[in-house]
Structure 1
């Protein structure tokens, strides 16, 4: 790399460079010059805070990340978009002491046996190179990174590493119960030692998960170590690897704040955590199970904004929104939402209950467990130890003057019969089933020994759904459809081949995945008199589907609609639905 004089990037050269590239105007330059408060920031950050729009690309804002990439190209050095999910945080924080890293203000972003890549915000200041190369005993490559990210991650990652080092100084290991007992204090479960450091690690886990939009945190023991994985937009990613000595105190603290038994490792346990993380309140459900290498913990993070979501945000079309709203506004009847675990059924039901909730309606729910606490509802959790089942909960609700009853899941004959009885006695009942299609819920309930004539009289609506990832609006691109995938998508239906569809590309907004967020693909069946007549003893699913063909939009075709609308990709729908 060319040797450059040691100096700092100046605001004047950044502004002049942008002006010469016709990215900002003379008036913009004057605005920057008048804003004295920007002088205390790095020049790229200062200009980024002005949030100028790109003169020819309407969707592009000249923020700090964009300016960093632009400046790297301007001076001819590599650029890196620092993504914490792609960094081996444990490896990069072991490389050099925090004090040294803070002094030279560079962040290791990649470590190999022969080379270390450092991200810097000052590419012309190379005075640190010689000492650093001697310390790491490897070749060094310098890349330009976002100044804000470098500062933030140096503090965040090395602070967590320091806490883990101090926690790991003890003698505890996965199987060392004595060490765990020493770490866990009184009967209240307070730590005697390392409390502050373990708390820092746990708080960082929550903060990291919140920042990365994780829906689940997996803490998993392995031989000699443990790993943490996040589920983001439906996919799991390894984000950190713990030393064995750190894993037990972290797991123990999580069990304490979830009000679980710390010393119980042989049985599965469930608990809840409510935590304020920054300006966001996180509601979490914790589940532990014993595995070969020790306890595994999964933390499900619930969207606390679920009660304020609209049906449009869920993915319903305008026509289906009207149809669904008319169903959930009915005063009696049974509505079922079906799909596999993790298909968004709870979100659909909670959004529906929030839509109809008002001071003049009494809504009672029985769940296993209660996932989202909603003060507008009377929520009950099943408890097999005291014989509080779904069916018994419905019996209790019927003496509580309910208008609407939500049953978390219909699993057995007793629950099915009680749900139908409630719907036939003037109550609206909403529940879920694990079936692959909307119409399959009919035969499923008949299999549970529900009388067909009672089911026919009570059922008013069915919805089957799946979650698909949404194409990133910042980078999705048009391309002709892959004909093999298109034929697999439309199946037996006659749908004209479009000239183009949208594909996932990947950009910094979506972490180069091509997707950002998820919506439902679904099939909505309103129970008509024609369908009621089909609900009879001995009817098969195939017969119902044949007779109902063309009377509703199958989930496959709803997926086709979302592909044609540019909301998701053919690959995503084929993978999830077909």
Structure 2
């Protein structure tokens, strides 16, 4: 952005059209955090910023800029200069701006005075609001929760905001008795409109946010007929407050969502699943609406975007070099069974489609039997099957067995007869990729044997098992390294060595025997091992994470292992594999992803106890 455009955007604005132009200009600026802006302008140094960030952990209700002003590290004018020139916030002369009546109706006077916020205008599902500090996230969140609109903050010209709030609301005949500060917004803040109108506006916001990717899921939760309606959203993998509406909005909101998803509005005792289809010519994906009855005759609703997972290459899955080589070798066999095991939402379908993309050549005929066709590949013949009813996975596999297949993929192997047919196909010259829901490779193999598949048949067919999990990937824009203390390193070392001992290796690799020395060589910086932390920035919507990455363990199973497994319980397959290889266990792979800065210890704790 040129100096001229910056200077133009810094001029006080007193009309809607210039404000819209300034906001459009701001949307094209790179995202900058207030701390980075103040550092770039030389208003604070690293020590002052670090002290303010530490204090903010104790006083989360205060934005960082306000804390720096209160500590006299910077002046109010310096804060405003950073907000304008580095973050691009338009400056509005609140005393001269013609506030729109629709905007005033969105925010009650008590809330406007308590938050020191002046609603200026409404544009679609956006509410433009003048604030003393437009980086104050908690103020913005409260306004969004109470108005069900996306709040776009702008900077009020110094000294104009509070008088403008009084003048604006007096002009509308609204009482201006100051409200006492409260920890939570009142249940009826901003909700003096008809319940159906509020519900419609919230649905517009839900659709806009899910389609844009700002949130992945929206949960409408009913706790009782007389209690406020709670709405939460999953943002960056974490559930956060999204809206809080009065009880009167419950039925209109649920009924409108049901109608849009073409569900039975009178059905309250059975779960229902439907789609909100985009309008003709709209390229956005559909939204899935799931209604679930809860106790007391209530219904919860979950809205999520039905995005198609992106087709990835095998090299983009996060596999280590050794795991990648072993898995690639297994799927390049002309026949055999290769299992992918993990819980729901662990990326199994993405992994198997990456394998199919690797194998997809004109010389191969590839069939799939999928309960949900989320990735479409040209050259792959894909069938959608049903969990109950026809076509089932079994009937699809029976047809595929007669269809001259070279490669078959099954996205959920949970039927006894289908499992037997898969093993027969794998033993008869077809390569089969199959996914199973489970917590370990051992559990998946044991489950197949419990389905009546004998060990010899399974040994002839099974090439190996890829056990995988998903963890959130750190945002590269804001992740922060800090030296690991002795307690952190000891916890990681104990977890690493515990998995090393589980392999039963008579001659463990050097990094298993002394992982700290290996880590210092491989990952140390100036003789120090660092641990990454999630911070949060506009690029990751304040969560500290962007996207996901896989954590894997590859296990090869032979006839001897299966025979021992038939007479052994409560044991892991790696313990039965004989001499250990350089391949890592699931926990060890996760630890290395921490040390390389891909994820955090907290994420790894969710899949293996450290």
Q: What's the TM-score once normalised by structure 1's chain length? A: 0.69
- Residues 74 and 471 of structure 1: is their aligned pair in 2 closer, same or farther, counting only changes over 3 Å? same
Per-residue deviation, residues 421-457 of structure 1 (Å, max 9, x unmatched): 1222222222222222224322222222211111111
Instruction: Using the TM superposition, name which of 352-361 and 402-411 deviates more.
Output: 352-361
Counterpart for residue 138 of structure 1: 178
Displacement of 1:318 in angstroms is 4.3
Partner of residue 551, structure 2: 521
List per-residue Cα deviations over 1:47-95 (Å, max 9, x = no partner): 88576999xx99x999xxxxx979996714579999xxxxxxx999442
Aligned to 2:221: 220
CA distance in 1 between partners of 2:9 and 2:388 (Å): 69
Contact 1:468 1:518 in 2 (8 A): yes
1:347-386 equivalence runs, <5 A: 347-358=350-361, 361-372=364-375, 376-386=380-390
* 397-406 or 102-111, larger mean C-alpha shift: 102-111
CA RMSD of aligned residues (A): 4.6
Check conservation: 1:53, 1:61, Cα contact below 8 A.
no
**Distance (Å, rounded) in 2 between the aligned partners of 1:46 and 1:268:** 46
Task: Answer yes or no: is the 8 Å Cα contact 1:366–1:408 preserved in 2.
Answer: yes
Structure 1, unaligned runs of 5 or more = 1-9, 19-37, 63-67, 83-89, 142-160, 170-196
Q: 1:299 aligns with which of 299, 303, 311?
A: 303
Taking the aligned partners of 1:569 and 1:520, their CA distance within structure 2 comes to: 13
Counterpart for residue 547 of structure 1:
576
Question: 1: distance between equivalents of 2:596 and 2:359?
Answer: 29
Q: 1:110 to 1:419 in 2, by over 3 A?
A: closer
Shift of 1:507: 2.6
Kindly tell me the number of residue pairs found equivalent between the two proteins.
479
1:210 aligns with 2:211: yes
SS of the aligned residue for 2:402 comes to coil
Structure 1 residue 119 displacement after superposition: 4.9
1:484 has 2:487 as partner: yes
SS at match of 2:291: strand
Residue matched to 2:541: 511
Matches within 5 A, 1:205-354: 205-223=206-224, 224=226, 225-275=228-278, 281-292=284-295, 293-304=297-308, 306-354=309-357
Check the 8 A contact 2:473/2:545 in 1, yes or no: yes
1:540 offset after TM fit, Å?
4.0
Matches of residues 190-205 of structure 1 in structure 2 within 5 Å? 201-205=202-206
Structure 2 distance, partners of 1:264, 1:39, is: 50
Structure 2 distance, partners of 1:435, 1:384, is: 21
Q: Aligned in 2, Cα 1:385/1:575: closer, same or farther, shift over 3 Å?
A: closer
Deviation, 1:485, is: 3.8
- Deviation (angstroms), 1:519: 0.9
- Find 2:595's aligned residue among 557, 564, 568: 564
Q: Match for 2:531 among 489, 501, 507?
A: 501
Q: Is residue 302–residue 372 contact of structure 1 (8 Å, CA) maintained in 2?
A: no
Residue pair 1:365, 1:406 contacting (<8 A) in 2 also: yes
Equivalent residue for 1:168, pick from 180, 187, 196: 196
* Matches of 2:141 and 2:568, distance apart in 1: 61
Q: Structure 2 vs 1, CA of residues 357 and 263 (structure 1 numbering), >3 Å: closer, same or farther?
A: farther
**Structure 2 partner of 1:102:** 121
Cα gap change, 1:278 to 1:208, in 2 (>3 Å):
farther
Give the gaps of 5 or more residues in structure 2.
Answer: 11-16, 42-63, 89-102, 123-127, 132-138, 144-150, 182-189, 501-511, 521-527
